Structure 1
Amino acid sequence: EWPQAFPAVTICNYSPLRYDRFISPFLNYTNARNITNTTNTTIFTTAQAAYIQEFLLYKLNQNESLNDYFYSLESMMMSCNYNNMPCTTTNFTWFISPLYGLCYTFNALLKSTGQSGIKYNADNGANGLLELSIYVHQNQYVPYLSNGIGMVALVHDNVQMPIIELTAMLLSSGKHHKLGYAKKTSLFLPAPYTPCNDKANLGMQAMFDQYHDADYGYAQFPCYFACIQAYTYKKCGCGNPYRWNNRLVVLPNTDTPINIQLCDFDNSCYGAAGIEIMNTESIWTTFCPDCTLECSYSEFNIQSTSVLAPPAYMRDGIKQFVESSQVPLPEDWNTSYVSEIQSSFVSLEVAYETTRTEVYSQQPTMAPVDVISNVGGQTGLWIGISFLSLMELAEMIYRLIRSQCHRLWTRT
């Protein structure tokens, strides 16, 4: 396939929260609930960490923005190049993941630009290469929240909503990673051959609005998320607290999105509702009748390799970026910056491995013309009737009727 659209690439910091932005509001929350009684922002315990998700859920249910607690792309991205041309933060759209915080997507189909905004492998006379240099600021990771340091990345179709929590690749810091992709497309026949779907319903469209200008299309998993959340709200009066981007739901036989509250984590209703809808056919057909396979679907097989990074000659440039990023530095930065850079630097290269696209396409085994031919052939074989015989029979009937009519006219 050439020219081939370069896929969308979504990246997130592996640990979502910036300690310097998060700790004071968090202590205000825990102190107000008599969980803690401290203003010390330098000590953070495992007991406090148990209330992080509860704090974030409280903020969401108050319709307060969480963006300030997460890492902005400006504070992390040192450089971006696509096909030897610089790219900036304006080339990314964003969304919030309950696991990774703010995530950023390059080359998604956007409502504001349409197909003209999609980048292709052949742009600028090159071969489709995205190069990113990221600094994850591991010194600002909230203790006990994450069990690693680095980035997460997902290569996906330009019109596909990134389900980063399920399918992301983990990229460790201190390395240059190369993700080589090969495209695979599956095409299914529409009705009446299969029950496949390619139209996003109102519930999915309401969910896609949380992805800020992205123009995503129908996919089966997001359809599940939307309809299960709608049923959970119908049954429990609140939604699954792990579905942050499903706070707008559309109930069956309605067309108005409802802004819902998310359930408390200790509320067992949302879990029971999820089990009930997936195991009760009548409920499933009411809330999820459209959630069938996609009529067309593209995925990318990834080959991942990596080498140590950064080389020594890059350290001064990285040091300057970190010092100008407005993210607090470690107290011993002047003496430990070499090891800090090694712990927080991630380099990513996304490139195609082949221009070939593997296509799985359904073809009808019997077209309408084949049906007519087979009916005629089988009829002729088993009862001795052919199309010509039918025409002769029709002619004979016509002649008999004409003869009778002629006799009647002659008598009168």
Structure 2
Amino acid sequence: MRAMTNTTNNHVVPVISMAKEAKKLESSNHQPRSIVREFALNTSTHGLPGIARSQSKHNCIFWTVSFFIFTGIMIYSVTQTIKNYFEYPTQTSVSIFVERSQVFPAVTFCNYSPVRYDHLIGPFLNYTNSINATNTNDTTTFTAEQTLLLRDFLQVQLNTGAPITQYFFSLDTMLIECVYNDKTCTTNDFISFLSSTYGQCFTFNAKTKTTNGSDLRYTNDDGGSGKLILRLYAQSHLYVPYASEDVSVGMIAMIHDNTQLPLIDVAGTLLAPGRRHRLGYKKKTNQFLSSPYTDCTTKTPLAMQAMFNEYEGADYAYSQECGCVSPLQWSARSVVLPGTNTRIEAPLCNFTDTCYLKATVRISKTTSIWNYFCSDCLQECSTVSFTVTPSSVAAPSLPYAYMTKTFVESLSIPLPSKWSTDWLYEVQNNFVSLEVVCESTQVENYTQQASLSPVDVLSNVGGQTGLWIGISFLSVMEFIEMLYRILRYEFHIIRRAITNKLYMNNTIK
């Protein structure tokens, strides 16, 4: 036979080929039902072969019910596995490594009394007289009522931009001697900041922006092991009465990371006079996973860039709602308006104004307010902390008492009234020695890790599917092959129908 030709339009239609293909497609082995049955008989998925080869109705029901029950259990198990992954569980691993050359930590100290009487009393009386709170020029008497006005006086000075450091104890009036790894250090090795509780504080070995850490001290500098000795004098005869409450004399110190804000008001260690205090430290590092596992951050918000001793952005809300910041946060007056990069200097609130107290409670209790005003107040992803072991012994010895006497007499400050006869008592009552030493080169490292990785999830899902109905990637490929064969069959059926329609149209013409 040869192909039929339509002489009307000169189109040749392969009728014989089309007929052969149609016969081939109509074969029972290529119909969708046969394709599905063949897949069910040969697939590696458990249960389906049992359904396909069932010889009785009861046998078919048994395998069908079994297959769907175990499929349901598998779907539940797989869903739980995927759900657990998106809860982002974590675990913490602990490792210890030796760091023979460690960066020596920053050491911050303050005099327990925030202000010195001889520099304060004159300007303070001028202020209280100007607001009609007092009417006196007596510089020898200071009452408990005047202590309340002292906070207002310092607040006014800060709000007006007037200098106030002259009212606090300077480093050169307290630092008798500084020694690091047997080498003398000077006042130039310290930076200062203001604390509303302790006045002017000083930090040794802080990482500054100007040097970018190039001048940081290391534990093995000059062949040493990392030991800082500070010999200090408290000058308690210049303390303002009632300003330190029931504390007569003392210092406060803190060991912290070189880039960390020294929150000495809450984390400081009190140092009593007449003692040599030893703070032995061990270094510990913490590494947290970033989002989505935790909400830690590695970026520095604009408000934190304003000053080295910036406090957290929780004060933003106080500034917007009250028009001022907490009177206790002297170093947090540089605030950034929410949603902008605009930085402003906010005034300190009055202590009698309860607005900042109410705002503190609201922002700490309301998550939405906290997230809006303090979106950058997040945990750091990498932190360094120190485990400190304190101890002390009586000091000073008699030779160091004479050295301290010489130091005090060399200063241009008023001496105690009975210094000539009671100088040894004064020295013992004001001398504070602080020794900070590295106890170990071993560093504890706490690292947060993901409990489930994508590979773990894939393995768990594969284990569940394999356990219950034996599905693997090859089973999926078998199913895809079945779909492909069915679609191919339907495609050829549709193409044959279109071809026949075209042929009939051409024949009629």
Identify the residue that residue 180 of structure 1 maps to in structure 2: 280
Whether contact under 8 Å (2:106, 2:256) holds in the other structure is yes
1:347 counterpart (414, 427, 433): 433
Report which stretch shifted further, 328-337 or 98-107.
328-337
Whether contact under 8 Å (1:210, 1:245) holds in the other structure is no
> Are 1:361 and 2:461 counterparts?
no
Identify the residue that residue 384 of structure 1 maps to in structure 2: 470
Q: Could you list the per-position Cα deviations for residues 359-403 of structure 1 after superposition, in whole angstroms to 9, with x for gaps in the alignment?
A: 322221111222222233333333432122334444565677778
> Are 1:161 and 2:261 counterparts?
yes
Whether contact under 8 Å (2:401, 2:428) holds in the other structure is no
Identify the residue that residue 219 of structure 1 maps to in structure 2: none
Identify the residue that residue 64 of structure 1 maps to in structure 2: 162
Cα gap change, 1:118 to 1:400, in 2 (>3 Å): farther
Paired AA for residue 23 in structure 1: I
Spell out the pairing of 1:80-95 with structure 2 (5 A cutoff): 80-95=178-193
> Are 1:371 and 2:457 counterparts?
yes
For 1:396 and 1:83, locate their aligned partners in 2 and report how far apart those are by CA, in whole Å. Answer: 79
Spell out the pairing of 1:7-406 with structure 2 (5 A cutoff): 7-146=105-244, 147-206=247-306, 209=307, 211=309, 222-223=311-312, 226-227=313-314, 229-394=315-480
TM-score (structure 2 length as normaliser): 0.73
1:265 Cα offset (Å): 0.6
For 1:402 and 1:173, locate their aligned partners in 2 and report how far apart those are by CA, in whole Å. Answer: 93
Whether contact under 8 Å (1:129, 1:351) holds in the other structure is yes
For 1:48 and 1:115, locate their aligned partners in 2 and report how far apart those are by CA, in whole Å. Answer: 44
The count of aligned residue pairs is 397
Report which stretch shifted further, 47-56 or 376-385.
376-385
Q: Could you list the per-position Cα deviations for residues 12-71 of structure 1 after superposition, in whole angstroms to 9, with x for gaps in the alignment?
A: 011111111111110110111122222222222223223111111111111112100111
Paired AA for residue 429 in structure 2: S
For 2:185 and 2:486, locate their aligned partners in 1 and report how far apart those are by CA, in whole Å. Answer: 83
2:391 counterpart SS class? strand
For 1:87 and 1:403, locate their aligned partners in 2 and report how far apart those are by CA, in whole Å. Answer: 89
Q: Percent identity?
A: 48
1:281 Cα offset (Å): 2.5
1:316 counterpart SS class? helix
For 2:182 and 2:488, locate their aligned partners in 1 and report how far apart those are by CA, in whole Å. Answer: 83
Whether contact under 8 Å (1:173, 1:345) holds in the other structure is yes
Paired AA for residue 78 in structure 1: I
Q: Could you list the per-position Cα deviations for residues 141-173 of structure 1 after superposition, in whole angstroms to 9, with x for gaps in the alignment?
A: 111111231110001111210111101111011
1:193 counterpart SS class? coil
1:102 counterpart SS class? strand
Whether contact under 8 Å (1:240, 1:262) holds in the other structure is yes
For 1:401 and 1:325, locate their aligned partners in 2 and report how far apart those are by CA, in whole Å. Answer: 99
Paired AA for residue 267 in structure 1: D
Whether contact under 8 Å (2:261, 2:308) holds in the other structure is no
Provide the aligned C-alpha RMSD in A.
Answer: 2.2
1:261 Cα offset (Å): 1.0
Whether contact under 8 Å (1:14, 1:148) holds in the other structure is no
Whether contact under 8 Å (1:231, 1:273) holds in the other structure is yes
Whether contact under 8 Å (1:240, 1:270) holds in the other structure is yes
For 2:405 and 2:460, locate their aligned partners in 1 and report how far apart those are by CA, in whole Å. Answer: 75
For 2:371 and 2:405, locate their aligned partners in 1 and report how far apart those are by CA, in whole Å. Answer: 57
Whether contact under 8 Å (1:75, 1:325) holds in the other structure is yes
1:122 Cα offset (Å): 1.5
2:449 counterpart SS class? coil
Unaligned stretches of 5+ in structure 1? 217-221
Identify the residue that residue 58 of structure 2 maps to in structure 1: none
